[in-house]
Amino acid sequence: MTMIFGIPLQAFLGQLLIGLINGSFYALLSLGLAVIFGLLRVINFAHGAQYMLGAFVAMLMLQYLGINYWFALVLAPLVVGLFGAIIERTMLSRLYDLDPLYGLLFTFGLALTIEGTFRYFYGSSGQPYNVPAALAGGTNLGFMFLPIYRGWVVVISLIACIGTWLLIEKTKLGAYLRAATENPTLVQAFGVNVPLLLTLTYGLGAALAAFAGVLAAPVYQVSPLMGSNIIIVVFAVVVVGGMGSIMGAILTGYMLGIAEGLTKVFYPEASNIVIFVIMAIVLLIRPAGLFGRDA
Amino acid sequence: MRKTVLASLALLLASSTAFAQSASGAATDGKVKIGILNDQSGVYADFGGKSSVEAAKMAVEDFGGKVLGVPVEIVDADHQNKADIASNIARQWYDTQQVDAIMELTTSSVALAVQAVAKEKKKIDIVTGAATTDLTGKACSPYGFHWAYDTHALAVGTGGALVKQGGDSWFFLTADYAFGYSLEQQTGDYVKSSGGKILGSVRHPLSTSDFSSFLLQAQSSGAKVIGLANAGLDTANAIKQASEFGITQGGQHLAALLFTLAEVHGLGLEAAQGLTLTEGYYWNLDDKSREFAKKFFARTKKMPNMIHSGTYSAVLQYLKAVQKAGTDETEAVAKALHEMPVDDVFGRGGSVGANGRMIHDMYLLQVKKPAESKEPWDYFNVLATIPGKEAYIDPAKSGCDLVK
C-alpha cells in the first residue's frame, strides 16, 4: 500500500476530504465575520450565537410549522438576518462613534444572553435534526465513505462564499458599501443612505452565520453550545487570513480545516490547538495576516 | 485594530474563568449545609446540571427539611468542568460558608481535585456525577464516597454484554482526560480478559464537535465494536455522525460506554435505537422508580437519569447518617455512612465499602426502536440486572490504602 508520512494513502485522502468539509464551515463563518469587520469595523462576537440561532430556527420551523430543510435554508437566514438588522439599528449603531472595544463587548454580551436563554429552554444535549431525505445515504469513493450530505455542504458553501465575494467586490452595491467604509461622509453627500447600508451589511453577516447554522444542523447536534465551540476557531481563521480580507477569510477557512483534519491523524490530542499554533506563527512572520494589507 | 482583536480573543479565552459563578447562600451556624457542585452550562449540563440541584432539594424535602432540629440548606455552583475553579469553590464553601458536604461533582478531573481538598480539610464529599474508579482506588479518602456508578461498572455492563454477543475486537474513541483513560483501560482489560482484542484507539479533546476524522480511523481499523469512551454531547455527536458515515450500517457496532437517558433524549430514538448502555437507575423500572420520576418530572420537565436519582439518594443517605450520628461532625458522619445499608429508590440493597464505594445493582439497557416507545421518555428495554458485586471492584482489590 502506498504510504504518505507513514500513513496509508487512503486514510490520508479521506482526512483531506474531511478537512475540506470542516473547512467549508470555517470559511462560511469567517466570511461573515470578515464582511462585518471589513465594512463596519465591528468585531462581531455574536457570530457564534447567530450560527446557533440559524440551526435552532431551522429546527423549530420543522417542529412547529412543518417547514422542511430546503425552505429553512432560505427562511432561517432571513429571520436571523432580520434579527441582526434590528439589533444593529436599535443598539449596535449607537456604538460606532466609540472605541471598537464597545462594539466587541456589546456583541459578546449579546452572545452570552442568547446562548444562556437557549440553554435554559433546551439544555445542553441539544436536539436532533435529520438529514433531508434527498441527501441521505452516501457513496463509496474507494478511499472513504462520503455521506452525500457532506458533499453537498462543500458545494453549497463554496457557492455561497464566491457569491458573497462577487457581491462585495464586483457589484455596484458592493462598491457603495466599500466606499461607505472608506469615507461615510462623502458617500452620504452623494445621496447614498449610509446607515441603511450598514444595517444591511450587518444583516447579511448574521444571515451568512445562520446559513452555516442550517447547513450544520443535520451534521452536529443542534445545541446552544454549538456556536461557542466553533467561534474561537473562526476568529483565529480571520486573524490568519488578514483582518477584513474577504477572500483571505475564505481561503484560510479551507486551509485551516485541512490542517486540522491532518492533525487528527498524526497527533489527535493537538487537533484543537493546531489552528492557534498556526495563528501564532503567522502573526510572528506576517503580522497583517496571510492576505491582509498592512494598515 | 488587530491588537484589539487579539486582546479580545484573549478576553474570550479567559472569560469563562471570569464568569465563574460564586456560591450563593448565607453562612450561618446551626445549619446543615450541602453544596451541589457540577457542570451547569457545558457539555455535561443535561447529564447532571441544575436538575441534580432539584433532586437534592427533593431529598431534603422528603426528609422533612430539618435534621437534628436544624434546617438543611442546599447551595450550588457551576464548576465549568475546570478543576481549578472547582477547587476554589470547594475551599470557599468548606472554609468560609460552613458547607458540611459537597456532592455531585460531574467530570472525573474535577471530582479528583475536590476530593483532595475535602480530604485535606477533613470534610465529606459524595461523588455521583463522575466516573473514574480512582476516587475509591489510589485517590480514596476516608471522608469521600462514590455513589452512582463508575468506569468499572460501565466496562463490566456494556463491555461485557457486547463481548458476549461476539464483539471481540474493539477500537476506542476516547475523551482526552482522566475519565476517558480510565474508561478505556478498564473496558479494554475486560475485553482482553474475555478473550477479545484491542485494535487501537484515538484520543479526542473534550467538547469536540466533529468526529468524522476519528470515525474514519475507527472504520478503517475493521474492529467489530467501536467503544465511545466519552460522555455527554461528545457521545451524542459521535453517534449521530457514525450513522452518517455508514458505520453501523457497515456492521460495526457502537458501544456508548457512558450514555444516559438525558443524552438519549437529546439524540432522539431514531439515531440512538439499538444502543446498549449501562445505568444504575431507570425511571420506568417499577412503581417505586416511577413515583420518584413523576415528582422529579413535575419540577424539571425531564425524567431523571442515574446522576439525578443518585444525587437524591446521596443527599438522603447523608441526612440519615447525620441523624444517626447525632452530629454533623465529619468523622462521626463518615463512620455512619460506611456502616449504614442503603435502601431507597436508587440504591436498593446497597452497601458502602471501606474504600467509600457504594455497591448496588446496575442495569444493562437497550434503547428502544421508535415504534416500541409507548409514551414520552419510554426509551429503554431492561436486558439484565448486573449484581453490585460483579459491577464494582472488590474494595480489597481497589488499591485504596484505607482497606487493610
pLDDT digits (tens, 9 = 90+) for A76-121: 999 999 999 999 999 988 888 888 888 889 999 999 999 888 888 8
Q: In what order do the strands lie in the sheet with B225-229?
A: B197-204, B169-175, B225-229, B253-256
Contact criterion met (CB < 8 Å) for B42 and A43? no
Q: Which residues of B touch A238 (CB under 8 A)?
A: 5
* Domain total of chain A: 1
Please count the residue pairs, one from chain A and one from chain B, whose beta carbons lie less than 8 angstroms apart. Answer: 155
Distance CA B87, CA B37 (A): 10
Tell me, yes or no, whether A156 lies in a domain: yes
Alpha carbon of B272: minimum distance to chain A alpha carbons (Å): 10
Distance CA B192, CA B153 (A): 16
Torsion angle defined by CA atoms of residues B106, B112, B113 and B114, in that order, rounded to the nearest 10 degrees: 60
Contact criterion met (CB < 8 Å) for A219 and B263? no
Q: Which amino acid is at A179?
A: A
What is the architecture, at CATH level 2, of domain B152-279+362-391? 3-Layer(aba) Sandwich (3.40)
Distance CA B170, CA B154 (A): 15
Give the residues across from B362 on adjacent strands.
B386
pLDDT digits (tens, 9 = 90+) for A114-153: 988 888 888 777 788 888 888 887 787 777 778 888 889 9
What's the pTM?
0.79
pLDDT digits (tens, 9 = 90+) for B117-146: 999 999 999 999 999 999 999 999 999 999
Q: Are A235 and A33 in contact (CB under 8 A)?
A: yes
Q: Which residues of A touch B205 (CB under 8 A)?
A: 269, 271-272
Contact criterion met (CB < 8 Å) for A43 and B240? no
Distance CA B260, CA B46 (A): 10
pLDDT at B12: 54
Contact criterion met (CB < 8 Å) for A239 and B216? no
Closest partner residue to A123 among B46, B216, B244, by Cβ? B46
| Interface ipTM | 0.72
Closest partner residue to B45 among A11, A119, A271, by Cβ? A119
pLDDT at B29: 61
Give SS3 for B198: strand
Distance CA B381, CA B360 (A): 20
Distance CA B53, CA B36 (A): 6
Residues of chain A above pLDDT 70, percent: 96
Contact criterion met (CB < 8 Å) for A232 and B13? yes
Say yes or no: do domains B8-16+29-149+287-360 and B152-279+362-391 share a fold.
yes
Q: A177 pLDDT band (50/70/90 cuts)?
A: confident
Which residue in chain A has the smallest CA separation from B12? A232
Give Cα A78 to chain centroid, integer Å: 16
Q: Which residues of B touch A15 (CB under 8 A)?
A: 213, 216
CATH number of B8-16+29-149+287-360: 3.40.50.2300
Q: B7 pLDDT band (50/70/90 cuts)?
A: low
Q: Are B142 and B161 in contact (CB under 8 A)?
A: no
Tell me, yes or no, whether A130 lies in a domain: no
Contact criterion met (CB < 8 Å) for A239 and B9? yes
Tell me, yes or no, whether A76 lies in a domain: yes
Which residue in chain B has the smallest CA separation from A238? B5
Distance CA B53, CA B59 (A): 10
Contact criterion met (CB < 8 Å) for B217 and A239? no
User: What is the mean predicted confidence (pLDDT) over B287-299?
Assistant: 94
Q: Which residues of A touch B201 (CB under 8 A)?
A: none
Q: Which residues of A touch B184 (CB under 8 A)?
A: none
Cell triple for residue B273? 435505537
Q: Domain ranges in chain B?
A: 8-16+29-149+287-360, 152-279+362-391
Contact criterion met (CB < 8 Å) for B216 and A144? yes
pLDDT digits (tens, 9 = 90+) for B218-234: 888 889 999 999 988 88
pLDDT at B244: 83
User: What is the mean predicted confidence (pLDDT) over B168-180?
Assistant: 91
Alpha carbon of A95: minimum distance to chain B alpha carbons (Å): 16
Contact criterion met (CB < 8 Å) for A138 and B245? yes
Of A236, A231, A217, the closest CA to residue A289 belongs to: A236
DSSP per position, B280-291: S--TTSSHHHHH
Tell me, yes or no, whether A293 lies in a domain: no
pLDDT at B25: 32
Contact criterion met (CB < 8 Å) for A147 and B44? no
Q: Which residues of A touch B270 (CB under 8 A)?
A: 128, 130
Tell me, yes or no, whether A99 lies in a domain: yes
Q: By residue range, what is the domain housing residue A98? A: 3-125+140-285
Contact criterion met (CB < 8 Å) for A232 and B12? yes
Angle at B188 between CA B183 and CA B194, to 5 degrees: 130
pLDDT at B20: 38
Which residue in chain A has the smallest CA separation from B43? A124
User: What is the mean predicted confidence (pLDDT) over A208-220?
Assistant: 91
